[in-house]
Chains A and B, each alone.
Chain A
């Protein structure tokens, strides 16, 4: 039987380590490599010109590599669901291969195509190569839910077998076996479009700093390893000024488009490390960036709402502001803070910024200063940032805005101090905001504080030539830390005075996660087991972690100790921390471990608590309760609870019942009379 393969390129724009492409070639009589794009939507999509340019360059590179193998890339215009039926018939296709796309949108699209192929009797072969690991396996090993902390993720990964070894590039010999005649009109029908065809204006377009393509990626990989920067960076990565600029050894955009296989990078790093370090097994930290990427992919793969706050079970609901003008100032680099503006300018011009720069601008937009939703920032990055993977982009934004993944929120990057710390000379500012080039180092990060005479001498008067700072950072950080505390205290039900304790701890780190060696080892990694001290512990345990919803507006089951907008700060106002309990709990170790197995606590619970349960808020609550108790003992204020008459208690008890409210109920209630 004749085998006519079509390999569909999407990401994974490379010939090396491309298992799906290998499958296309395997025993085939003809192979065509296609890339599908819709020029009609290109201009409309939220993807900036730098990203398109990078993609087109990557396609050019792919085409020229295929040319060397006497083949070509077929760029087909249209939508996959329209294109494939046509191609299947025209080319008499029997086999379709492509790389597995772990992102929810991709999974849905691919599902439709696989179904379509079935209808046409076309065999589909899908291979995983965009991530190091099989993400579903990680999820399965974490009790069927994606790990929500990076530490937990690392723990799981350290138990997995090494990633699959990369495959060699496809060879001339392989290609010859399934040679497909290229028509003379190939360039008319299947050429790679130009930026103009996609609707972009290219006059005055500055030269690209990052050039797309597999050849470029492999070249950079060589330099990356040659430089061996990483060997020292292993010790401790200190930011140096130069690293704020685009580095000729940077790889992230190439990983994003799959011009470079993450597994190739992984094994190259590993082997180099073992060579230098005399066969030591490399620590996970060696693969830092690769693992972060993997972490966010895992978190996103089954969550179609991963890129938004609403309906996203892992995202804390934060009452962000909507402020289009402020957002535009940020996105266009007109905030009046040179550090922020320089970064946003670099991002717009070049398509890449250092990760610390990302932290700085993301914090500024969200919890640090402007209090604007991370979703807006994510969309701007999606447009401008070459390496913006859907999962990694959304995940990082949630991380940096403290909207998920359980981090402390106290630490806000100062838009002046952090810049000065990172690049004390301010040359980075002068490079991207030339109008400030004559400012002395002292004022380059805060030009508005420079004396007027100096501003005039430097030919840049703040408020005329360069904007005034759009916000008073001291004031906004004061407000925002309170807002974050409000949100997190509601989430964690912590009512004490400690800022740090407002952030819920997640059970997944403290619990012995699975039946494995970690329970028997005696290092500090193994959680201590404490005997179950009260039945209460068992009864409040949250056994399941699959449907979490840390929504600050979500209401718990009335059984839970819940204090809605309590306005008192003292732990004595919390009726759930009576003195008797604090004396019981006060000496219990800070480490939280489960006194009984998940299944038994689960069954004991479901019988008593009913179904309405918000997993995460429950899960975190117990940790808080314990901390709250510790706090009570620490500050030795037991007497308060006893004396406290009904003021706050009343309120809280009331509130815990009254908490839930939805707007629609008003309509219903309105009809009642």
Chain B
């Protein structure tokens, strides 16, 4: 099935010839050939494979194999450089001293810039934790002047090294792409020093095409900066940002009539210093969002101290995926149970020493969409847990609980609970274990 699909895709530039037709063409070419003795040699047959067939084959080969194949003959070498094979590229920039991974060879990078930069459409840069790698990525970006990218991803695989690049260097590299591309649709620039003026350049050049923007933890962007994007880019469907950029105005802008339905909104709520105060978002803004995009997913990752949750979950919020990366109190989880009717996934890394029994039951009762739950350092009595699973039943497709979380009680021992839970889930289930070693 996939093969078929790949075939359709791959041959779109060279008409949709079936392999049989292509073979016919080859035969015709061969018979027309004025030097039949050459055609009889096997090598020559291979060399005369039509480009579209070669392209098709090359698309299935890894780059290294393509490079080897390109040394066979002139024709194959030409095929190696066909634009179709260079639409998509992932640059990996790693320093041997700071990463275990290999890097894209500098010569290859040079060659891509020289011969294929105008073919690139889907580009990502993976960098390790060294500033040199991030700078190298910026250097390459600055050279992509004659290409029109649709997708750009800047991905830090370890530490956020783009943050260490001088801001001006980063901004000028990024704006090269913004200005030249004009049809960017996906942009992933988490943990980078992107700022408001550069977002303005993005909007000025790509507002019609931008659909996806991921910019979690970009400290130089202000709420006004992201608001400008939301106001202008009406096709935006996915957005990821930090809570400090989230405002009522932003939600209203995203739910304006001109705007397409939002599909995903990812919010990271991170505490920079203990006791930080967070603003609240009005329920009416979320309601507007819901009216405009009733199916949108709201993903929230919390990395807060327990006493910073005051402004959250006091009113109904359309969150679908919740992740609590640090300890969160029973009280807050109780509020989650009351105010998150759309919740699909809940992950709690840690909670206090008192059992979460009532909270879980409440969540099972009110969050009727819940299908995934993960509990780390928490306590839950076995009875309450079984009750929770029973209430959710088979819609719980993900159920991950550390063994230590479950406290045996008069009704169930640890050995019994796996049977009981498996029964309600309709599949084999075990608690997660850690080695005792």
Chain A complexes with chain B: yes
Residues in chain A within 8 A of chain B (CB atoms):
150-151, 235-237, 252, 283, 285, 288-289, 292-293, 296, 309-310, 317, 319-323, 355, 358-359, 371, 373, 387, 392, 395-396, 399-400, 407-408, 410-414, 417-418, 421, 449, 473-475, 477-479, 481-483, 486, 497-501, 509-510, 523-525, 527-528, 536, 539, 553, 555, 558-561, 564-565, 567-570, 572, 575-576, 589-591, 627, 630, 634-637, 640, 647-648, 650-651, 653-672
Which of B59, B264, B414, B432 interacts with A236 by CB under 8 Å? Answer: B414
A561 to B5 CA separation, bound complex (whole angstroms):
10
Which of A396, A500, A567 interacts with B186 by CB under 8 Å? Answer: A567
Which residues of A lie under 8 Å from residue B325 when comparing CB positions?
Answer: 412, 474, 477-478, 481
A654 to B350 CA separation, bound complex (whole angstroms):
41
Which residues of B lie under 8 Å from residue A575 when comparing CB positions?
Answer: 5
Contact indicator A321/B107 (Cβ below 8 Å): no
Q: Is B42 interfacial (CB-CB < 8 Å)?
A: no
Which of B108, B301, B436 interacts with A670 by CB under 8 Å? Answer: B108
Residues in chain B within 8 A of chain A (CB atoms):
1-3, 5-6, 9-10, 59-68, 70-71, 77, 80, 85, 87-90, 92, 94, 97-111, 121-122, 124, 126, 128-129, 150-151, 153, 155-160, 185-186, 188, 190-191, 211-212, 214, 216-217, 238, 240, 263-264, 266, 268, 270-271, 274, 295, 297, 299, 301, 303-305, 320-321, 323, 325-327, 344-345, 347, 349-350, 353, 369, 371-374, 376-377, 394, 397-398, 400, 402, 404, 407-408, 413-415, 419, 422-423, 425-430, 432-437
The contact sample of 9 A-B pairs, CB cut-off 8 A, is: A449-B274, A497-B299, A498-B372, A523-B419, A528-B426, A591-B428, A657-B60, A660-B64, A670-B111
| Beyond A355-B437, A499-B374, A655-B88, 4 additional pairs, beta carbon < 8 A | A482-B190, A524-B427, A570-B263, A637-B295
A414 to B327 CA separation, bound complex (whole angstroms):
8
Determine which residue in A396, A651, A669 has the highest number of CB atoms from chain B within 10 A of its CB, and name it: A669
Contact indicator A590/B394 (Cβ below 8 Å): yes
Which residues of A lie under 8 Å from residue B425 when comparing CB positions?
Answer: 590
Known contacts A411-B402, A666-B107; decide if A527 and B428 are in contact (CB<8 Å): yes
Contact indicator B90/A655 (Cβ below 8 Å): yes
A413 to B371 CA separation, bound complex (whole angstroms):
24
Contact indicator A497/B297 (Cβ below 8 Å): yes
CB of A469 to closest CB in B, whole Å = 12
Contact indicator B295/A650 (Cβ below 8 Å): no
Chain B minimum-CB-distance residue to A608? B3
A358 to B91 CA separation, bound complex (whole angstroms):
37
Which residues of A lie under 8 Å from residue B97 when comparing CB positions?
Answer: 322
Contact indicator B88/A292 (Cβ below 8 Å): no
A670 to B99 CA separation, bound complex (whole angstroms):
25
Which residues of A lie under 8 Å from residue B99 when comparing CB positions?
Answer: 319-322
Chain A minimum-CB-distance residue to B407? A236
Known contacts A479-B159, A591-B427, A650-B122; decide if A410 and B63 are in contact (CB<8 Å): no
Chain B minimum-CB-distance residue to A671? B71
CB of A318 to closest CB in B, whole Å = 8
Chain A minimum-CB-distance residue to B435? A292
Which of A412, A421, A663 interacts with B105 by CB under 8 Å? Answer: A663
Chain A minimum-CB-distance residue to B69? A668
Which residues of A lie under 8 Å from residue B94 when comparing CB positions?
Answer: 319
Which residues of A lie under 8 Å from residue B87 when comparing CB positions?
Answer: 650, 654, 658
CB of A374 to closest CB in B, whole Å = 11
CB of A511 to closest CB in B, whole Å = 11
Which residues of B lie under 8 Å from residue A647 when comparing CB positions?
Answer: 150-151, 185-186, 211
Which residues of B lie under 8 Å from residue A475 when comparing CB positions?
Answer: 270, 303
A151 to B433 CA separation, bound complex (whole angstroms):
9
Which residues of A lie under 8 Å from residue B404 when comparing CB positions?
Answer: 237
Which residues of B lie under 8 Å from residue A657 when comparing CB positions?
Answer: 6, 10, 59-60, 85, 88
Contact indicator A658/B85 (Cβ below 8 Å): yes
A310 to B100 CA separation, bound complex (whole angstroms):
9
Chain A minimum-CB-distance residue to B418? A524
CB of B264 to closest CB in A, whole Å = 6
Which of B3, B62, B212, B295 interacts with A567 by CB under 8 Å? Answer: B212
Contact indicator B377/A634 (Cβ below 8 Å): no
Contact indicator A572/B62 (Cβ below 8 Å): no
Known contacts A236-B414, A410-B400; decide if A483 and B98 are in contact (CB<8 Å): no
Contact indicator B326/A477 (Cβ below 8 Å): yes
Which residues of A lie under 8 Å from residue B70 when comparing CB positions?
Answer: 668-669, 672
Contact indicator A497/B107 (Cβ below 8 Å): no
Contact indicator B263/A640 (Cβ below 8 Å): yes
Which residues of A lie under 8 Å from residue B61 when comparing CB positions?
Answer: 660
Contact indicator A567/B6 (Cβ below 8 Å): no
Chain B minimum-CB-distance residue to A283? B415
Contact indicator B60/A474 (Cβ below 8 Å): no
Which of A387, A524, A659, A669 interacts with B108 by CB under 8 Å? Answer: A669
Contact indicator B349/A410 (Cβ below 8 Å): yes
Chain B minimum-CB-distance residue to A449? B274
Contact indicator B326/A474 (Cβ below 8 Å): yes
A656 to B422 CA separation, bound complex (whole angstroms):
37
Chain A minimum-CB-distance residue to B408? A236
Contact indicator B347/A499 (Cβ below 8 Å): yes
Known contacts A236-B408, A319-B99, A658-B63; decide if A664 and B151 are in contact (CB<8 Å): no
A396 to B404 CA separation, bound complex (whole angstroms):
18
A659 to B217 CA separation, bound complex (whole angstroms):
28
Chain A minimum-CB-distance residue to B100? A320
Known contacts A501-B398, A567-B153, A669-B108; decide if A399 and B434 are in contact (CB<8 Å): yes
